[in-house]
């Protein structure tokens, strides 16, 4: 079983920065893909950033150049550094994990491809 625990959310003014963390507990093979999603009320969960076991990353167009995903295997932790935050970045942010499934990368930002989720951490950006 895999458990994901996010932390680091909060309130910040536009232009500011936040760093989200996600502690991962469980089998390594179940966390081949680690990602951050976000969701606002009434909207679908949106993929923000993903990293695989090889360190390959990808980002949603809306956050490219502003957000950086990284992980520390020794600490079993995933991070999301968010810079130049905008009010539209306001959302509940979730850490997600998926095992190494063939063809996974082609649907890497589809929430239904992820088997494990954290409880979420709120990020609020004021103008």
pLDDT in tens, 53-103: 999 999 999 999 999 999 999 999 999 999 999 999 999 999 999 999 899
**What is the structure's pLDDT at 31?**
86
Taking the C-alpha atoms of residue 89 and residue 82, their distance in angstroms, rounded to an integer, is 9
Tell me the per-residue pLDDT of 30-47, one tens digit each, with 9 for 90 and over. Answer: 889 999 999 999 999 999
- Say if residues 69 and 2 touch (Cβ distance below 8 Å): no
Give the whole-angstrom CA distance, residue 80 versus residue 114: 18
Strand, coil or helix: 53? coil
User: Rounded distance, CA 71 to CA 56, Å?
Assistant: 11
CA-closest candidate to residue 15, choices 62, 73, 83, 115: 83
């Amino acid at each position: 079983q895999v458990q994901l625990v996010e932390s680091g959310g909060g309130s910040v003014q536009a232009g500011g920065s936040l760093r989200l963390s996600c502690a991962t507990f469980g089998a390594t093979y179940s966390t081949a893909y680690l990602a951050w999603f976000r969701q606002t009320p009434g909207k679908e969960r949106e993929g923000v950033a993903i990293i695989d076991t090889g360190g390959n990353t990808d980002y949603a167009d809306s956050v490219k150049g502003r957000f950086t995903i990284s992980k520390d295997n020794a600490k079993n932790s995933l991070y999301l550094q968010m810079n130049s935050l905008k009010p539209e970045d306001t959302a509940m942010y979730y850490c997600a994990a998926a095992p190494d499934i063939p063809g996974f990368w082609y649907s890497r930002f589809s929430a239904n491809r992820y088997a494990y989720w954290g409880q979420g951490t709120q990020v609020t950006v004021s103008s």
